[in-house]
Chains A and B, each alone.
Chain A
Amino acid sequence: MENAEFEQLVNQYYEALYRFALSLTRSEAASCDLTQQTFYLWAAKGHQLRDRTKAKSWLFTTLHREFLGSKRRETRFPHHEMKEVDHELPTVLPTVVNDLDGSTVMESLLLVDELYRAPLMLFYLEDFSYQEIAEQLEIPIGTVMSRLNRGKAQLRQLVAGASQSKSEKIISLNDTRKEAKSRG
Chain B
Amino acid sequence: MDKSEAKIILQAYRANGADATDPHFTEALQLAGIDAELKAWFAEQQAFDRAISAKLRSAPVPADLRASILAGRKVVPAPIWWRRPAALIAVVAAMLMLLAIPFMLQTRNTPQFSEFKRDSMSFLDSLNKLDMSSKDHETVRAWLAAHGGHKQFSLPTQLGGKPSLGCRIFEWKGNKVTLICFNTTVGKKFEEVHLLVVDERAIRNRPPEGKPVFESNGEWDTASWRDDGLAYVLFGHAKNHGKLEQLF
Asked whether, in the complex, the Cβ of A102 is within 8 Å of the Cβ of B48, the reply is: no
The number of inter-chain residue pairs (CB within 8 angstroms) is: 127
A interface size (C-beta, 8 A): 54
Asked whether, in the complex, the Cβ of A102 is within 8 Å of the Cβ of B14, the reply is: no
Asked whether, in the complex, the Cβ of B11 is within 8 Å of the Cβ of A149, the reply is: yes
List, in ascending order, chain A residues with CB within 8 A of B34's CB: none
Asked whether, in the complex, the Cβ of B48 is within 8 Å of the Cβ of A145, the reply is: no
Main secondary structure of the interface of A (DSSP, over half): helix
B interface size (C-beta, 8 A): 44
List, in ascending order, chain A residues with CB within 8 A of B62's CB: 18, 28, 32
Main secondary structure of the interface of B (DSSP, over half): helix
Least CB distance, A19 to chain B, in whole angstroms = 6
Asked whether, in the complex, the Cβ of A36 is within 8 Å of the Cβ of B68, the reply is: yes
The contact of A44 among B8, B48, B54, B76, by CB within 8 Å, is: B76
How far, in whole Å, are A72 and B18 apart by their CA atoms in the complex?
35
Which of B77-85, B187-195, B234-242 makes up part of the contact surface? B77-85
Q: Which of A84-109 contact B (CB under 8 A)?
A: 84, 91-92, 94, 97-98, 100-106, 109
**Further 11 A-B residue pairs, CB within 8 A, beyond A6-B70, A7-B70, A102-B56:** A11-B66, A19-B56, A35-B65, A39-B69, A98-B54, A104-B55, A124-B49, A129-B18, A130-B19, A155-B52, A159-B52
Binding site for B on A (CB under 8 A): 1, 3, 6-7, 10-11, 14-16, 18-19, 22, 28, 32, 35-36, 39-40, 43-45, 47-48, 82, 84, 91-92, 94, 97-98, 100-106, 109, 121, 123-126, 129-130, 144-146, 148-149, 152, 155-156, 159
Question: Across chains A and B, which 8 residue pairs bring their CB atoms closest together, nearest first?
Answer: A97-B51, A105-B55, A130-B12, A94-B47, A94-B51, A102-B59, A106-B59, A102-B58
